[in-house]
A and B are shown apart, each in its own frame.
Chain A
């Protein structure tokens, strides 16, 4: 029998995020023509639901955020459990974002399910769900079987193709809103600031990241990194040397004590390639290194390298990208 799947999606600016769309596509591929239930967290927006149905889900429900006005995984679990038993669900798919991982852990613990996060491939086998996931900061990959009757799998963003739009069935309407269960009064979200990102997209989910290191030389010269990122619509990252020196805020740090990023393209400028930095970016699809030292370890992990004075190379690269993009 084909298993029933629930996909949990996140919204940004009233649209399912790319990672949520990828999850819908994965669910559709896993079950063929069998139904896929979708659940979006937030206030109902009909076009979002219709778009998500074209990505692969058949029905869409909504789960309101708790009154505290922020994402509290534990508070959503009671309603999720009710939904799961109603739909005889065996597998829950969701994006492996920070919140997705919190929800995966809280839900799996209460649903008595196996779970895996950061998953980059999933298939159905006779033994259960076979998942692949990078471990040790991308230095190795493990394959596991989630063999129980229930599983929660968080999918790493941008590791799966964007779904091909399909004809959404007529039944794909917005269904009842599920209310979050009661939650002991307590946590209150008192505000938020956008991640300081040097004006471009957020570091956490940008398809291109341009990162600078100690070799950039100074806070002033770090503007060259930001200009290159601007030309590429990329996020700006930094090595620890840069954030420790106060040239740029700690929120831009990539590496062991900062963020782990997995963009399509990572351009490392003036970064020597210490292992503490490399573990935060080794999962990138293509890595370019620009460094004045031909023996810098970054060239061992990069796909393409340029040895030279970054003060000359980076502006030339920015100009060339502007030229080919016609701006």
Chain B
């Protein structure tokens, strides 16, 4: 089975957020871009399926500029992906539909049975790439997917999709595009020998197709909230008094409670 995993370079989750000098975006100065969040689960799930299905390959794809995109592809190789393809852009692009179009052009000529994507990126949290890829490639797409299994006898995947009110159970034959919420396991970490080996593995580079849609979604401002003052602590002498004071504040001051 051919499994494609699309990953996005995102700021390290511990990054201290700062606005760029023109106040339009996150200041990329000194930011380390990594493989993180739901994308890690997508890679993990691809590798787990490969272990289960003989003759499978997991191929990683990342869109974006160098060095950040090739760097996270190195992480994918160190984790065990069979190949890595950099869909090269000259500039960072933060419009998910442009990203989906560029990835879709490359994936369209390399049919995969399963395309895995994190259900949303850790930075912009749009969640648009998986459904957009499905629509562009004319394949069914689902997001918020957990518990993805392959049933060889029936040649179908089974999985769950979380909605706000229920967890749906689905079955579907390949090809599919899935936005993953969780793999069976916590994502593995790369072992040092594999990290060293990955440094010598080739990363294919293909230019991103010129996107007709670029410039349609333009960042204007990046605002950080005023630092929180910290909680107003409720003084009390008995638990009942603490409860009474809190409820009064929530009703009369915060007005969150009928």
B95 touches A320 (CB 8 A): no
With A and B bound together, what is the CA distance between A112 and B136 in angstroms?
A: 10
Known contacts A102-B142, A105-B128; A321 and B247 CB within 8 A of each other: yes
Contact of B172 among A97, A98, A147, A186 (CB under 8 A): A186
What does the 1/0 interface line of A87-128 toward B look like (CB < 8 Å)? Answer: 000000000011101111111111011111110000000000
B222 touches A70 (CB 8 A): no
The A interface is mostly helix, strand or loop, or mixed, namely mixed
User: Which A residue's beta carbon lies closest to that of B238?
Assistant: A316
B229 to chain A, nearest CB (A): 9
User: Which A residue's beta carbon lies closest to that of B177?
Assistant: A74
B192 at the interface (CB under 8 A from A): no
B157 to chain A, nearest CB (A): 9
What does the 1/0 interface line of B73-111 toward A look like (CB < 8 Å)? Answer: 000000000000000000000011100110010000000
B129 touches A146 (CB 8 A): no
A140 touches B225 (CB 8 A): yes
Known contacts A106-B141, A148-B216; A70 and B128 CB within 8 A of each other: no
Known contacts A72-B140, A146-B217, A286-B254; A316 and B239 CB within 8 A of each other: yes
With A and B bound together, what is the CA distance between A202 and B166 in angstroms?
A: 8
A83 to chain B, nearest CB (A): 16
A29 at the interface (CB under 8 A from B): no
Which of A34-42, A210-218, A307-315 lies on the face that meets chain B? Answer: A307-315
Chain B residues with Cβ under 8 A from A73's Cβ? 131, 134-135, 141
B206 at the interface (CB under 8 A from A): no
A193 touches B222 (CB 8 A): no
B22 at the interface (CB under 8 A from A): no
Known contacts A145-B220, A194-B166, A299-B233; A288 and B246 CB within 8 A of each other: yes
Q: Tell me the count of chain A residues lying within 8 A, CB to CB, of chain B.
A: 95
Chain A residues with Cβ under 8 A from B213's Cβ? 112, 114, 148
Chain A residues with Cβ under 8 A from B132's Cβ? 105-106, 108-109
A300 at the interface (CB under 8 A from B): yes
A103 touches B131 (CB 8 A): yes
With A and B bound together, what is the CA distance between A115 and B163 in angstroms?
A: 21
With A and B bound together, what is the CA distance between A77 and B141 in angstroms?
A: 12
With A and B bound together, what is the CA distance between A106 and B143 in angstroms?
A: 11
B201 at the interface (CB under 8 A from A): no
A285 touches B242 (CB 8 A): no
B101 touches A109 (CB 8 A): yes
CB-contacts of A266-320 with B (<8 A):
275, 285-289, 294, 299-309, 312-313, 315-317, 319-320
Chain A residues with Cβ under 8 A from B128's Cβ? 101, 104-105, 108, 115, 117
A32 at the interface (CB under 8 A from B): no
User: Which B residue's beta carbon lies closest to that of A315?
Assistant: B239
What does the 1/0 interface line of A166-204 toward B look like (CB < 8 Å)? Answer: 000000000000000001101111111111000000101
A192 touches B169 (CB 8 A): yes
With A and B bound together, what is the CA distance between A288 and B171 in angstroms?
A: 41
B239 touches A313 (CB 8 A): yes
Chain B residues with Cβ under 8 A from A257's Cβ? 41, 182
Contact of A316 among B223, B242, B254 (CB under 8 A): B242
B243 at the interface (CB under 8 A from A): yes
Chain A residues with Cβ under 8 A from B196's Cβ? none
User: Which A residue's beta carbon lies closest to that of B174?
Assistant: A186
A102-B142, A140-B26 given; 17 more Cβ-contact pairs under 8 Å:
A102-B127, A105-B141, A109-B104, A114-B97, A135-B123, A135-B125, A141-B222, A141-B224, A141-B225, A144-B217, A144-B219, A189-B169, A195-B165, A286-B250, A300-B228, A308-B242, A317-B242
Could you list which residues of chain A lie within 8 angstroms of chain B, going by C-beta atoms? 12, 70-75, 77, 97-99, 101-110, 112-118, 130, 134-137, 139-148, 183-184, 186-195, 202, 204-205, 208, 232, 250-251, 256-257, 260, 264-265, 275, 285-289, 294, 299-309, 312-313, 315-317, 319-321, 324-325
11 A–B contacts, CB within 8 A, in A order: A74-B139, A104-B131, A105-B96, A108-B132, A136-B11, A143-B220, A187-B170, A194-B165, A303-B254, A304-B232, A304-B250
